[in-house]
Amino acid sequence: MTVPTADAAAPIFHTPVCEKLGIRWPIFGFSHEIDVVVAICRAGGFGVFGVAREDPKRIPELISRLRTAVGDAPFGVDLMLPAGMPDRTPTREEVDARIPEQHKVFVERLREKYAVPPATRQTFFTSFVRSRQLFDEQVEAVLGSEVPLIATAVGLPPEVIARAKAAGKVTLSLIGTPKHARAALAAGADILVAQGYDAGGHTGTIGTLSLVPQIVEIAAPSGVPVIAAGGIATGAQILAAIAMGAQGAWLGTVWLGARENHTHRALLDKLVAAGSEDTVITRAHSGKPCRVVRSAWSEEWAAPGAPAPLPMPYQHALTGELLAAIEEHDVKPLVYEAAGQSVAWLTGERSVAQIVDALLDEMRDGWARMSGLAARSGAGTPAGAHSTGRNPSTDR
């Protein structure tokens, strides 16, 4: 690893995974918005486009738009492949038959209570129900594309990893427990993202600071690099992740405040006002535990007398039209999005380039702070301390 310096032009923290992927900074950014992914790649990071909410038929066109926009830069695509979904996409009638009357009444009451006008536009959740068949179609679209890296989250089908590798793609798995890390390594994942409890989106129960070093230790014998995720939105936290043996950080929530994300005003205001304590884990979003910014939506589903959210994919089948309407009409109390404890650092709208610059400045500041402390205690610079100590990033 290149020793970082306070010099703004220095190639700070060019970890081995930067070398492996051909990126400038060890900053990975997940987003469902193509413009954000493109801007992350242009800023020298690694942009990953989430296609879990995309029509399989549109995926090839979206990926080729990405390729054109980023030129030669590498980028990735993220698939969600949860177990336990219906094998084939159910018809509207079949879905309807699976949704209890009590749940339908509850959702209609919410619509009336908050005076939500009907949705006039289709969204993924008004048009699709998650199923094995849908995932297979998404997988085929991604495998047949020119995307260089495939990330798999919420579920790990080893056959998808094997096929992606056979197609010459780098594979990356998001994991939240040591057990899942071992399974991902056994399946042949090339990179692990250790995503802790603090993260926005579907999340496990182990905090990032406890999870990352355990996964680094598990991955060390294989030489598979580990990236830290969950609650990270500052350069000092990226440094901390590297200090724990990770080779970079994977950020999601921070990009919701990016100009390129085109976040609706009511949602942006809510995210800016939120602190870490204003995120909650709820099943009311997708049916699986998911960290979101608190809103009347999460509160209503947690209130006494509310029905328990339905399992995936039926929760979204039940709520998809109302959620689309809430978003379309910016219904303030109800708007929400997946968001991590890192939301505390979302203080206003900035461009992706400004966010990346700030992260790099904070990494330099953090390094200068540590160097100052090391000099005061007579231990030399952290770089000197590194060369005599164990460095999991380079010893592998």
Ligand X SMILES: Cc1cc2nc3c(=O)[nH]c(=O)nc-3n(C[C@H](O)[C@H](O)[C@H](O)COP(=O)(O)O)c2cc1C
Q: Is 230 in the site for ligand X (CB under 6 A)?
A: yes
Q: Are strands 46-50 and 27-31 parallel, antiparallel or unpaired?
A: parallel
Binding segment for ligand X (CB under 6 A), chosen from 108-116, 156-164, 244-252, 307-315, is 244-252
Binding segment for ligand X (CB under 6 A), chosen from 191-199, 219-227, 263-271, 385-393, is 191-199
Gap between the Cα atoms of 366 and 342, Å rounded: 18
Among 201, 213, 320, 366, binds ligand X (CB under 6 A): 201
Binding segment for ligand X (CB under 6 A), chosen from 19-27, 163-171, 215-223, 249-257, is 249-257
Q: Is 219 in the site for ligand X (CB under 6 A)?
A: no
**What's the longest Cα–Cα distance across the chain?**
72
Q: Tokens 């590297």 appear where?
A: 242
- What dihedral do alpha carbons 178, 181, 186, 187 form, nearest 10°? 150
Among 30, 125, 301, 367, binds ligand X (CB under 6 A): 30
Q: Is 195 in the site for ligand X (CB under 6 A)?
A: yes
Q: Is 185 in the site for ligand X (CB under 6 A)?
A: no
Q: Is 45 in the site for ligand X (CB under 6 A)?
A: no
Q: Is 240 in the site for ligand X (CB under 6 A)?
A: no
Q: Is 251 in the site for ligand X (CB under 6 A)?
A: yes
Q: Looking at the chain, how many residues does it have?
A: 396
Q: Which CB, 199 or 242, lies closer to ligand X?
A: 199
Do the beta carbons of residue 270 and residue 333 sit within 8 Å? no
Structure tokens at 257: 């405040």
> φ and ψ at 47, to 5 degrees?
-90, 135
Q: Provide DSSP, 212-271.
A: HHHHHHHHGGGT--EEEESS--SHHHHHHHHHTT-S-EEESGGGGGBGGG---HHHHHHH
Among 145, 253, 263, 298, binds ligand X (CB under 6 A): 253
Binding segment for ligand X (CB under 6 A), chosen from 192-200, 237-245, 265-273, 310-318, is 192-200
- Minimal distance, residue 237 CB to ligand X, in Å: 10
Among 26, 200, 213, 382, binds ligand X (CB under 6 A): 200
Among 260, 321, 327, 337, binds ligand X (CB under 6 A): 337
Do the beta carbons of residue 268 and residue 365 sit within 8 Å? no
Structure tokens at 298: 């999460």
Query: Which residue, judged by CB position, is nearest to ligand X in the bound state?
Result: 252
Q: What is the CA radius of gyration of the chain?
A: 21
Q: Is 247 in the site for ligand X (CB under 6 A)?
A: no
Gap between the Cα atoms of 345 and 258, Å rounded: 12
Structure tokens at 358: 């700030």
Q: Which CB, 78 or 106, lies closer to ligand X?
A: 78
Among 54, 190, 198, 321, binds ligand X (CB under 6 A): 198
Structure tokens at 1: 């690893």
Structure tokens at 20: 């492996």
Q: Distance of CA 283 to CAs 201, 202, 321, 367, Å?
A: 11, 9, 17, 40
Gap between the Cα atoms of 360 and 363, Å rounded: 5
Query: Is the dihedral angle over the CA atoms 231, 396, 171, 311 positive or is it negative?
Result: negative
Which H or E element spans position 173? strand 170-175
Q: Is 248 in the site for ligand X (CB under 6 A)?
A: no
Binding segment for ligand X (CB under 6 A), chosen from 19-27, 101-109, 136-144, 228-236, is 228-236
- Minimal distance, residue 103 CB to ligand X, in Å: 24
Do the beta carbons of residue 27 and residue 46 sit within 8 Å? yes
Q: Which CB, 261 or 371, lies closer to ligand X?
A: 261
Q: Which CB, 12 or 156, lies closer to ligand X?
A: 156
Q: Is 339 in the site for ligand X (CB under 6 A)?
A: yes
Binding segment for ligand X (CB under 6 A), chosen from 13-21, 100-108, 161-169, 333-341, is 333-341
Q: Is 80 in the site for ligand X (CB under 6 A)?
A: yes
Q: Which CB, 195 or 247, lies closer to ligand X?
A: 195
- Minimal distance, residue 92 CB to ligand X, in Å: 24
Q: Is 175 in the site for ligand X (CB under 6 A)?
A: no
Q: Is 257 in the site for ligand X (CB under 6 A)?
A: no
Q: How wide is the angle at C-alpha 262 spanned by C-alphas 46 and 288, nearest 5°?
A: 70
Which spans of this chain sit near ligand X (rule: CB under 6 A)?
30, 50, 52, 78, 80, 153, 174, 195, 198-201, 229-232, 250-254, 337-340, 342
